[in-house]
A and B are shown apart, each in its own frame.
Chain A
Amino acid sequence: MSASPLIEIRDLRIRFHGDDGRITHAVDSVDLSVANGATLGLVGESGCGKSVTSLAIMGLLPKQSAEISGAIRFDGFDLLTTPDQTLRDLRGNRLAMIFQEPMTSLNPSFTIGDQIIETILRHRGGSRKSARERAIELLRRVHIPSPERRIDDYPHKLSGGMRQRVMIAMALACDPRLLIADEPTTALDVTLQAQILELMRELKAASGAAIILITHDLGVVAEVCDEVAVMYAGEIVERAPVDELFSAPQHPYTVGLLGSIPRLDHRAEQLATIEGMVPNMAQPPAGCRFAPRCPFVLDACTRAPPPLVEVSVGHLSRCIRTPLELLVS
């Protein structure tokens, strides 16, 4: 890992206060860092806290209901204490985000050109004419055919794949240092997904931006990420370089996930299933949060929450039974 990471998250905790006074622990003691030019995959199932973590980085969580503690250091700022005005200067500029739903993340009443130009003018200034030229250039970079004509189209004239390209062009408008992509290909067909993933790889190579890719698709992770953090019930349960995560996972939840996906490269008669349900995050279990569903559970697992420990260099697991290989040898 390089000397100082581009973004460093320390002990991030996010609690939501519901109207009925209930408190939901959405994210608990999350530590993460991403180096310049690296791609981190944030993996987990619905409700594990991966999207909430990314919204916290962007400063997009509702102030009234979300209680956030910890630190998010990015480029010399602590994003959690940065005033809104400064955050607005960072967002869309050095910090950019792509959302899952390309159908709803563009404003239908403005042309795509207007929306990209707005970003450029807000952060870079200059003339409208030069911003327009830059917008055309950006659309060309994301492989939109005849961008000089397309720039005046309204979003409804574009297909889903095209809109996601426009979102990417907009995110790249000010050469961000960190790009957060929240399920960027989930709403797309597979052939379009392949195009967008290829585009992201291409752009990463060209710009050197760091990427946090949030996804539930382990195939996407294997194809584009360098490092992976697996989240379960608001916590990071495993963090590893991508090769190691797939070849020798050290948390039972990761093992279960890997076993439960149908694969093209080998056929399992029966898929693995993770029995039971995710815990109620209003009252998280006292010990390991995965314990009620874990086939390797011991009494000790339910007594105290396990710490995130380093199993091998750069490979961390929140499980007291590591290394898991010893359980089956």
Chain B
Amino acid sequence: MALLEVNGLVKHFVAQRSLLGRALAHVKAVDGVSFSLQAGKTLALVGESGCGKSTVSRLVLRLIEPDAGMIRFDGRDLLALDAGALRAFRREAQIIFQDPYASLNPRMTVGQILTEPLALHDLVPPARRAGRVAELLRLVGLEPRLARRYPHEFSGGQRQRIAIARALAVEPKLIICDEPVSALDVSIRSQILNLLRELQDRLGLAYIFVSHDLAVVKHIADHVAVMNLGQIVETAEADALFAAPRHPYSRALLSAIPLPQPKAKRTTVLLEGEIPSALNPPSGCRFHTRCPFVIERCRNEAPALLADRTGHATACHRTAELPSADAILPTAGGFSPALAKLVAAFSRKTEGGNPAGVVRQGTTSTTM
């Protein structure tokens, strides 16, 4: 059974009201989104600004209430939970935000930040909380003595580690990572990505990874859903999607990413025009205004998200007729043997050290 099942999720925000408070215009932020996620796996939600990916992640946690749809977590109907049950559910699903500067309370020490969820859910008896905080810090590769410090004393990467430790404090099954590395420098980004993967392997976490960066997604995701204007346009196993993207929008996204490979031979699909507003999405297929393969039918009739036998689903009338995507795929790059060895010297340094060498403790002391 899937850990998380989402069906027909809809969220429209009121963008404008009349004098009497009647809604005049809606932003169709999420418009019929369905997916499922297995325990211990990573689903990436990919798309550009305003595609609804962050709204989906907040709906899944019920930080905002959906207008329609169904969310099942571990077999329970999330939308039917009362306040108490919802709080218990939040123990099992956590979120990490993009901006590590805004997501930690500047007036609390790291120790207090990490103790709060332990106390709130009464997970660890007070006498043992300091020990658990130390464990959590070690788990994310920080030294336990840092618990006495305040967030401003840390760099962006370290703050993101603290945010991850806070999410881990309640031993969740699912963590939603909303652009967790977008605000970080390149070398710090790789540390956090490695940490997230390592924690997943060791703790069996499931991730919903919200990102606009397909290279990062390729690195971390098992399953990918590409979103455009509130809808999923393509979803598949990550390997299948990156090997042969089908939807014209997925192809455009993939080909738009600059490759760190000078003189890389591939065709770039340049989309014309701007991203349409979710306030008034185009009729028919919502991608038709920017699609290089548009035909008359696309303007009038919205395509359904149809899966083939392998589970690779695409919402495009012309899926069967589109040319092969080979031309837009990056040619296999990679390092020369010498460079690969030099790069490996940087990876080797982390192996065996923290946090990989730390065994998770304290799980037995939890009370429910």
Query: Is B215 a contact of A198 with CB atoms below 8 Å?
Result: no
Contact of B193 among A161, A242, A271 (CB under 8 A): A271
B85 sits at the interface (CB 8 A): no
- Contact indicator B259/A265 (Cβ below 8 Å): yes
**Contact digits for B262-285, partner A, Cβ 8 Å, 1 yes 0 no:** 111000101101110000000000
Q: Which residues of A contact B187 (CB under 8 A)?
A: 45, 256-257, 260, 273-274
User: Could you say which of B62-70, B88-96, B330-338 contacts chain A?
Assistant: B330-338
A295 lies within 8 A of B349 (CB): yes
A218-B186, A261-B215 known; A159 vs B348 contact (CB < 8 Å): no
Would B48 and A190 count as touching, CB distance under 8 A?
Answer: yes
Asked if A273 and B350 make an inter-chain contact with CB atoms under 8 angstroms apart, the answer reads: yes
Complex contact B253–A265 (CB within 8 A): no
Shortest distance from the beta carbon of B149 to any chain A beta carbon, whole Å: 15
B346 touches A261 (CB 8 A): no
* Contact between A162 and B261, CB atoms less than 8 A apart: no
Question: A277–B260 contact, CB under 8 A?
Answer: no
Interface residues of A in 251-265 (CB under 8 A from B): 252, 255-265
Contacts A260-B189, A265-B332, A272-B190; A247 near B219 (Cβ below 8 A): no
CB within 8 Å for A222 and B219 given contacts A159-B274, A190-B257, A264-B242: no
A255 engages B339 (CB within 8 Å): yes
Contact B218–A264 (Cβ < 8 Å): yes
- Minimum Cβ distance to chain A for residue B179 (Å): 13
Contact with B along A294-305 (1 / 0, CB 8 A): 011000000000
Chain A residues 217 to 248 lying within 8 A of chain B, measured CB to CB, are 217-223, 242-243, 246-248
Q: Which residues of A contact B263 (CB under 8 A)?
A: 243
Question: Could you tell me if B189 and A263 are in contact, using CB atoms closer than 8 angstroms?
Answer: no
- B262–A243 touching, CB < 8 Å: yes
Taking a contact as CB atoms under 8 Å apart, the answer to whether B270 and A195 are in contact is: yes
Residue in A223, A266, A274 whose CB lies within 8 Å of B346: A274
A85 interfacial contact with B, CB 8 Å: no
State how many residues of chain A have any CB contact under 8 Å with chain B. Answer: 59
Cross-interface CB contact of A263 among B49, B252, B333, B345, cutoff 8 Å: B333
Min CB distance B302 to A, Å, is: 21
Q: Judging by beta carbons under 8 Å apart, are B253 and A263 in contact?
A: no
A295 to B350, CA, bound (A): 11
With A191-B271, A263-B259, A265-B330 as contacts: A270 and B347 at CB distance below 8 Å: yes
B155 at interface by CB-CB < 8 Å: yes
Is there contact, CB below 8 Å, between B261 and A222? yes
Cβ of A263 and Cβ of B194 under 8 Å apart? no
Task: Tell me which residues across on chain B come within 8 A of A20, comparing CB atoms.
Answer: none
B191: interface (CB < 8 Å): yes
Contacts A45-B186, A223-B259, A243-B263; A259 near B336 (Cβ below 8 A): no
Q: Which residues of B are found within 8 Å of A286, using beta-carbon distances?
A: none
The yes or no answer to B341 lying at the interface (CB within 8 A) is: yes
The answer to whether B190 touches A260 (Cβ under 8 A) is yes
Q: Does B6 interact with chain A (Cβ within 8 Å)?
A: no
**A221 surroundings in chain B (CB, below 8 A):** 260
Interface size on B, residues (CB 8 A): 60
A165 to chain B, nearest CB (A): 10
In chain A, residues 176-231, which have Cβ atoms closer than 8 Å to a Cβ of chain B? 189-195, 197-198, 216-223
Considering the chains assembled together, what is the distance between the CA atoms of A198 and B270 in angstroms? 9
Give complex CA distance A260, B252 in Å: 25
A260 contacts B256, CB within 8 Å? no
* A324 at interface, CB cutoff 8 A: yes
A271-B261 Cα distance, complex, nearest whole Å: 17
A103 and B189 CA atoms in complex are apart in Å by: 25
Task: Produce 1/0 per residue, B24-46, CB < 8 A to A.
Answer: 00000000000000000000000
Give the residues in chain B near A189, CB-CB below 8 Å.
48-49, 212, 275
Question: Min CB distance, B291 to chain A, in Å?
Answer: 12
Asked whether any CB of chain A lies closer than 8 Å to the CB of B342, the reply is: yes
Contacts of A220 in B (CB 8 A): 258
Q: Which of chain A's residues has its CB closest to B333's CB?
A: A265
Complex: A142 Cα to B133 Cα, angstroms: 54
Contacting pair A260 B186 (CB below 8 A)? yes
B260 contacts A190, CB within 8 Å?
no
Query: Across the two chains, which residue of chain B brings its CB closest to A143?
Result: B272
Q: Which of B186, B257, B273, B342 contacts A328 (CB 8 A)?
A: B342
Residues in chain A near residue B345, CB distance under 8 A: 255, 295-296, 328
Among the listed A193, A261, A328, which residue makes an inter-chain contact with B256, where contact means beta carbons less than 8 Å apart?
Answer: A193
Check: B185 CB closer than 8 A to any chain A CB: yes
- Determine whether B3 belongs to the interface, using a CB cutoff of 8 Å to chain A: no
Q: Taking the nearest CB of chain B, how far is it from the CB of A222, in angstroms?
A: 5
A46–B101 CA distance with the chains assembled, in angstroms = 15
- Tell me if B257 and A259 are in contact (CB < 8 A): no
* Residue in chain A with minimal CB distance to B341: A328
B252 pairs with A273, CB closer than 8 A: no
The reply to whether A324 and B336 contact each other, CB–CB distance below 8 Å, is no
A63 interface hit (Cβ, 8 Å): no
> In the complex, which residues of chain A have a beta carbon less than 8 angstroms from the beta carbon of B350?
270, 273, 275
Select B339's contact among A249, A260, A271, A295, beta carbons within 8 Å.
A249
Q: List 30 A-B contacts (CB under 8 A).
A: A145-B273, A190-B48, A190-B257, A191-B48, A192-B275, A194-B270, A198-B268, A219-B215, A222-B259, A222-B261, A246-B260, A246-B261, A249-B339, A252-B342, A255-B342, A260-B189, A262-B193, A262-B213, A263-B215, A264-B215, A265-B332, A271-B193, A271-B219, A272-B190, A272-B343, A274-B187, A274-B346, A325-B338, A328-B341, A329-B338
If A195-B270, A265-B334 are given as contacts, then 4 extra A-B residue pairs at C-beta distance below 8 Å, sorted by A number, are: A189-B49, A193-B258, A257-B186, A263-B219
List 10 A-B pairs, minimum CB-CB distance, nearest first.
A219-B258, A265-B333, A259-B343, A260-B190, A262-B219, A272-B346, A271-B190, A328-B341, A194-B256, A189-B48
